[in-house]
Amino acid sequence: MKVLVDTSVWSQAFRRQKQEIVPNTSLQVVQRLGSLIEDGRVAMLSPIRQELLSGIKTQAQFESLKHILSAFPDEKLDAEDYEMAANSFNACRQLGIQGSNTDFLICAVSLAKKWPIFSLDKDFERYQKCLPLILFVN
């Protein structure tokens, strides 16, 4: 089964400076991501790729990360995925739970394909209050 890897996990592994990484979680997260990569279980979405590549300081760093990420093809997204994302956004908002469009697109794909989400972002735990999400335990 594939696992949707959120921007926060990729960022922990490839974008953060060593001094920014939380020592207790960093190694475990990177090891779990490495295992998923080795097993061919990583699912990438184009909006996650965009988030990762946005805000990079130098063109050399951008090209390096772009090259690394090129090993992970984007999962095909359909109109139904975006519609489910909007519906999830609306359902959570009715309960006072806010989130980003990208987060709800991740939720929609996760729900449609029954793939767990690997994230360091606690927002996905909040979304579980109104969506039957499966979170990948790191």
pLDDT(11) > 70: yes
Give the model's confidence band at 127: pLDDT under 50 very low, under 70 low, under 90 confident, else very high. very high
Instruction: Find out whether 42 and 36 touch, Cβ atoms under 8 Å.
Output: yes
| pLDDT at 25 (0 to 100) | 65
Count how many Cα atoms sit within 13 Å of the Cα of residue 17 in the half-sphere of its side chain: 4
Report pLDDT digits (tens) over 20-44: 444 556 888 999 999 999 999 999 9
12-21, 46-55, 61-70: range with lowest mean pLDDT: 12-21
Tokens linked to 69: 């990420």
Report pLDDT digits (tens) over 71-118: 999 999 999 999 999 999 999 999 999 999 999 999 999 999 999 999
| pLDDT at 40 (0 to 100) | 96
Distance CA 119, CA 5 (A): 6
Distance CA 121, CA 128 (A): 13
| pLDDT at 21 (0 to 100) | 43
